[in-house]
Amino acid sequence: MKAAVIVFPGSNCDRDVAVALERVAGTKPLMLWHRETEVPSDLDLIVVPGGFSYGDYLRSGAMAAHSPVMAGVKAAADKGVRVLGICNGFQILTESHLLPGALMRNRDLKFICKDVHLTVESADSDFTRGYADGQVVRYPVAHHDGNFFADDETLAAIEDAGQVAFRYCQPDGTVDADANINGSRNNIAGLFNRDRTVLGLMPHPERLIDQHLGGTDGVPMFKSLLEALS
């Protein structure tokens, strides 16, 4: 698997996800600076990491979506290169229209950092094959703008196409209002594109990859990718 991690000014989970990729794949990913106008043609996976790209001083992810490197990422995604956007990366993917919808300020207006439970809505993707359909996983979140919004029509299309990857849930898997930490529509925490070659999610799988950090629920995602793309 040849992977690259995009680095924007203000990215701050770029190292974390590179560590996770290296741990699972055994090789360091390429770190791609935001000014690159082209991305290498032999990539299997591009990760758009978490952080505060360009300070998120406009809408979160809005400026990064217009950075030079994102044109290359979009072109690669069109060719079927897998793209994973985590947290700020998810925001950038929606701002880039690689994924539908938008991420608004959390319902309670505060930054939230804690572990949350998620249902894996579909294990039928290169990102989630290591999990089972309906499995409950625990990932940390750390965001201010994770409240997923799409209008009724878009939301229906997302659901009909089976694009929901993860939903916020109770520890026992119940998807309800109490488990919805940030006000996301339909408890959506992560989303595929129609071809399931692009995944964006607010929680951070790269933060739970060894027991010292409190768990390993994030590992299967990186293993799934490694197995699918090697």
Residue window 122-141: x/- pattern of binding to another protein, with contact defined by CB under 8 A: ------------------x-
> With respect to another protein, which residue has the nearer C-beta, 50 or 100?
50
How many C-beta atoms surround the C-beta of residue 161 within 10 A? 14
Minimal CA–CA distance to 207: which of 33, 1, 8, 23?
Answer: 23
> With respect to another protein, which residue has the nearer C-beta, 30 or 228?
30
- Dump strand ranges (E) for 9-101: 30-33, 45-48, 82-86
Residue 138, both tokens: 């625990």
Under the binding rule (CB under 8 A), the answer on residue 13 touching another protein is yes
> How many whole angstroms separate alpha carbon 151 and alpha carbon 154?
5
> With respect to another protein, which residue has the nearer C-beta, 134 or 214?
214
Catalytic residue among 13, 87, 121, 169: 87
- The single-letter DSSP state of residue 108 is T
| Collapsed DSSP state (helix, strand, coil) of residue 88 | helix
Residue 160, both tokens: 């009909």
> With respect to another protein, which residue has the nearer C-beta, 53 or 163?
53
| Collapsed DSSP state (helix, strand, coil) of residue 46 | strand
C-alpha pair distances (Å), 172 with each of 117, 165, 177, 186, 187:
9, 18, 14, 17, 15
Catalytic residue among 34, 117, 143, 204: 204
Residue 220, both tokens: 């299967």
Under the binding rule (CB under 8 A), the answer on residue 10 touching another protein is yes
Under the binding rule (CB under 8 A), the answer on residue 31 touching another protein is no
Residue window 77-116: x/- pattern of binding to another protein, with contact defined by CB under 8 A: ---------------------------------xxxxx--
> How many whole angstroms separate alpha carbon 125 and alpha carbon 115?
24
Q: Does residue 206 carry a catalytic annotation?
A: yes
> With respect to another protein, which residue has the nearer C-beta, 211 or 230?
211
Binding residues for another protein restricted to 141-170, rule: CB under 8 A: 142, 144
> How many whole angstroms separate alpha carbon 187 and alpha carbon 87?
15
Q: How far is the CB of 7 from another protein (least distance, A)?
A: 9
Under the binding rule (CB under 8 A), the answer on residue 51 touching another protein is yes
Q: How far is the CB of 76 from another protein (least distance, A)?
A: 24
Chain residues binding another protein by CB under 8 A are 9-10, 12-13, 15-16, 19-20, 50-52, 54-57, 110-114, 140, 142, 144, 204, 206-207, 209, 212-214
Q: Would you please indicate which residues are annotated as catalytic (active-site) residues?
A: 87, 204, 206
